[in-house]
Structure 1
Amino acid sequence: MKLTTALCGATALATMAATGAFADGHATTITIATVNNGDMITMQSLMGDFNEKHPDINVEWVTLEENVLRQNLTTDISTGGGAYDVLTIGTYEVPIWGNNGWLVSLNDLPAEYEVDDLIPAIRGGLSVDGELYAAPFYGESSFTMYRTDLMEAAGLEMPEAPTWEFIREAAAAMTDRDNEINGICARGKAGWGENMALLTAMSNSFGARWFDEDWQAQFDSEAWSNTLNFYLDMMEESGPAGAANNGFNENLTLFQQGKCGIWIDATSAGQFVVNDDSTVADQVGFALAPDTGLGKRGNWLWAWSLAIPTSSQNQDAAKTFINWATGPEYSALVAEAKGWVAVPPGTRTSLYENDNYLNAAPFAAMTVESMGTADPTNPTVDPVPYTGVQFVAIPEFAGIATQVGQQFASALAGQQTAEEALANAQELTLDEMDAAGY
């Protein structure tokens, strides 16, 4: 499933032809695997700048849906396949893959990269023993986006720090089936980085854990029952039809089209609900992710980042690309082409000291606050033996959570009850963890 961006390819070919790079045989081709979200698509549209500065490097793109990308890259890197020179991976993969020796250190990026400008929490999540193994393209937490006009029409006012009960009440009040307005939009598509990102972060706020301190699965706990039943009931009352098929991109489209009253998802979505693609751009407010009063909110911490597998034969060219795509000059490039609101968020301290950005991005302050309150070392109410807010930082998690996500998506689709889904999740997690030797 390979989608090569025509614009980038054409620009690269033209540049190579103009410089004679093909003729003398010195062109280096790198293959970049990335996810099909807005920030990455913007990066591809700006490749003319990279091609002009680096005519000796030709870039080919493989752009995939999130779940497919993860499966594809995991298979390739674990087998040393060498299909890619630059990988788009997240905060979950980087420490594990770096520790396995699968990624190239980026500690030798040039001084103008300004590595100390990276937000400490993001930089730390992409490092192992002081070695930076991936460069963040954008960082995010999660928060609440909502329609201010619908909230006002419902006679309600969104608190800066809402509870889940308020969200459910407001969603029900904002739902208008006759006009295709869903009070709540939330991830339902199965996947460890799709519905399980939302539900794991949400479960933290309900006091749930994936595992107790002895690595025993906890899906048979009251806290997980409360989490899943609340989610399913709220989605049945106020969510869109076919919600079990909706991930980030599907919910973004619904919100942009004016079909969601509330959407709880990544802070990186902020720019896309207020840009020209959004029919409700001037009617969007932002609040923190909800809680239940137990001291934890349902917000996560993540970074989509660029890394180089050790199997790459073009590591120098790959580092040149990463320096361009994640370095400080890239923000100015995006701002010039798309406006400051479109600059990839959540990676550099300097962005949140830039008045041009702060004035253009009404979600900026809430993004910083949300990222700052997510604690990977203490993600939930009770102690846990793992790190990670919306994931558990062990190699087995991706496979287990994908299966659990399928169970929960099945419950959302009405194919089984919450209790059945939780029982199945408990059994399969115990089996997989036992087999892994925990």
Structure 2
Amino acid sequence: MSRTRLRPALAVAVIATLAATLTGCAGWGGGPGGGGPDTINVLMVNNPQMIDLQRLTEANFTQSTGIRVNFTVLPENDVRDKISQEFSSQAGQYDVASLSNFEIPIYAKSKWIAPLDEYVAADTQFDQSDILPPMTQSLTADDGKLYGQPFYGESSFLMYRKDVLAANGIQMPANPTWPQVADIAARVDNKQPGMRGICLRGQPGWGQIFAPLTTVVNTFGGTWFEQDWTPKVDAPEFTEATRFYVDLVRAHGENGAPQAGFTECLNNMVQGNTAMWYDATSAAGSLEADDSPVKGKMGYVAAPVLKTKSAGWLYAWSWSIQQASEKKDNAWKFISWASSRQYEELVGQQVGWSSVPAGKRASTYENQDYLGVAASFAEPTRDAISSADPRNPGVQPRPAIGIQFVDIPEFTDLGTQVSQYVSSAIAGQMSVDEALERGQRLAEDVAERYQSREQG
């Protein structure tokens, strides 16, 4: 997953400038502000869409509701750590936090966040039915209650250079299989100087290489765990998928693949160094930006498959309310506004339609102003998100929700450790079999904990 929707390189400079100049908030990475009953404290990640929200809140939300919002804004790794500390302690200092669909079911089970169903039912303006169903499903816990609302979402799809494929007499299928993609990668590899066939993440990290790779495992018939928690990391299907991925990136992938993540592949695509890229739908906004050298040259099709009908992942930065908050009503009012159709229109009018936090509402993909800047990728993005099934992403039942991850706390460590072995296989430092044998032992340790809990 991209985890932050990247814009062109100026984004970093813009964020830094805004960090120094924004007023009326808790400060860049500061603590929660003071205030009375009409003040709420929001802890959130520092991606560009969130910065737009911070800048628009006072003149719009506060102006209309009288509710002042103190923002604490931190980089992703820092904000995840701080939210975990704050919400696990239930100190109640922060009313709202930005969480992903990975954390929300886990936090809900721990009773760190409050269910939102009653607020949704009473809010006649929010229109939950407009939220794309896979988003609602991914933010619903095992108890059937809704614990988050998406701010923006993404899936994954295959991006490719239409002109490069056409020059080589190749027609991209609308729903390609992975063997077809591998064949195309071989046919276009180095046909233009310095241009490799495909970019696939090789950088270690549960949210780096294993975001795309786990979707490949799913569609090849593999899984991290079967429904009874039997670990399957070294099973034939998991092995076949991983070997396919490693062989493809080694044969026709980008230079420096073991260190390449989302950002590196984005740069390779923009700079014309690769002909195809399988990754987050949110990348399309950067590829089609006004200053992008590949604007208008890109095509977008569904995530490649093998044994499943769809394979795209699902990720959303979302809002949740801390269970210990004493200002839940005002916290919901903020969430309702920040995730609303009206807020998207506000961003389009005041920031620009390419900056709309899309990927969550069906109405976004019917908005002609938005489609005017996103026509080439809007429909493939919506199709990718709509076809994602976070509860049934593979060919067998799973013990936990999740497409590109297993939604248990232990997966961040498990996925990251196994990813280091797979990245080493891409670098030629070990075999895929050795990498997954080591991974299986780690998965067995995790499985033993869950199996013993269920037996107990």
- TM-score, normalised to structure 1, is 0.86
Deviation per CA, 1:306-364: give whole Å up to 9, x if none: 22323556655544432332112111122113443432222112222333333432212
Deviation per CA, 1:284-324: give whole Å up to 9, x if none: 110111112x2343311222212232355665554443233
Which of 278, 288, 293 does residue 292 from structure 2 map onto? 278
**Contact 1:82-1:312 at 8 Å conserved across structures:** yes
Q: CA deviation at 1:401?
A: 1.9
Q: CA deviation at 1:35?
A: 5.2
**Contact 2:132-2:386 at 8 Å conserved across structures:** no
Which of 355, 367, 374 does residue 354 from structure 1 map onto? 367
Following the alignment from structure 2 to structure 1, what is the Cα–Cα distance between the partners of residues 200 and 209?
A: 8
Deviation per CA, 1:214-250: give whole Å up to 9, x if none: 3211122111111111111111122223323332233
Q: CA deviation at 1:181?
A: 2.6
**Contact 2:347-2:355 at 8 Å conserved across structures:** yes
Q: CA deviation at 1:425?
A: 0.5
What corresponds to 1:158 in structure 2? 172
**Corresponding residue SS for 1:108:** helix
What corresponds to 2:49 in structure 1? 39
1:112–1:9: structure 2 CA closer, same or farther, 3 Å change rule?
A: farther
What corresponds to 1:30 in structure 2? 41
Structure 2: runs of 5 or more not aligned: 1-12, 26-32
- Indicate the larger mover: 39-48 or 325-334: 39-48
Number of aligned positions between the proteins:
427
What corresponds to 1:90 in structure 2? 100
Asked whether 1:260 is paired with 2:274, we answer yes
**Contact 2:61-2:337 at 8 Å conserved across structures:** no
CA RMSD of aligned residues (A): 3.2
Deviation per CA, 1:110-134: give whole Å up to 9, x if none: 4322333222221232123453321
Q: CA deviation at 1:83?
A: 6.7
What corresponds to 2:308 in structure 1? 295
Following the alignment from structure 1 to structure 2, what is the Cα–Cα distance between the partners of residues 141 and 97?
A: 22
Asked whether 1:7 is paired with 2:18, we answer yes
Structure 1: runs of 5 or more not aligned: 15-21
**Contact 1:57-1:317 at 8 Å conserved across structures:** no
1:367–1:104: structure 2 CA closer, same or farther, 3 Å change rule?
A: same
- Indicate the larger mover: 46-55 or 214-223: 46-55
Q: CA deviation at 1:413?
A: 3.1
Q: State percent identity of aligned pairs.
A: 37
**Contact 1:12-1:55 at 8 Å conserved across structures:** no
What corresponds to 2:380 in structure 1? 366
**Corresponding residue SS for 1:390:** coil
What corresponds to 2:109 in structure 1? 99
Following the alignment from structure 1 to structure 2, what is the Cα–Cα distance between the partners of residues 102 and 246?
A: 35
**Contact 2:311-2:393 at 8 Å conserved across structures:** no
**Contact 1:148-1:285 at 8 Å conserved across structures:** yes
Letter in 2 for 1:310: Q
Which of 210, 216, 229 does residue 230 from structure 2 map onto? 216
Following the alignment from structure 1 to structure 2, what is the Cα–Cα distance between the partners of residues 50 and 426?
A: 52
**Corresponding residue SS for 1:167:** helix
**Corresponding residue SS for 1:185:** coil
Following the alignment from structure 1 to structure 2, what is the Cα–Cα distance between the partners of residues 285 and 277?
A: 18
Q: CA deviation at 1:80?
A: 4.0
Q: CA deviation at 1:11?
A: 4.3
1:147–1:46: structure 2 CA closer, same or farther, 3 Å change rule?
A: farther
1:280–1:55: structure 2 CA closer, same or farther, 3 Å change rule?
A: farther
- Indicate the larger mover: 276-285 or 407-416: 407-416
Deviation per CA, 1:254-278: give whole Å up to 9, x if none: 3233333111112222222211242
1:51–1:12: structure 2 CA closer, same or farther, 3 Å change rule?
A: farther
What corresponds to 1:63 in structure 2? 74
Q: CA deviation at 1:379?
A: 1.5
**Contact 2:371-2:378 at 8 Å conserved across structures:** yes
**Contact 2:62-2:68 at 8 Å conserved across structures:** no
Following the alignment from structure 1 to structure 2, what is the Cα–Cα distance between the partners of residues 407 and 260?
A: 25
1:23–1:94: structure 2 CA closer, same or farther, 3 Å change rule?
A: closer
Following the alignment from structure 2 to structure 1, what is the Cα–Cα distance between the partners of residues 66 and 296?
A: 41
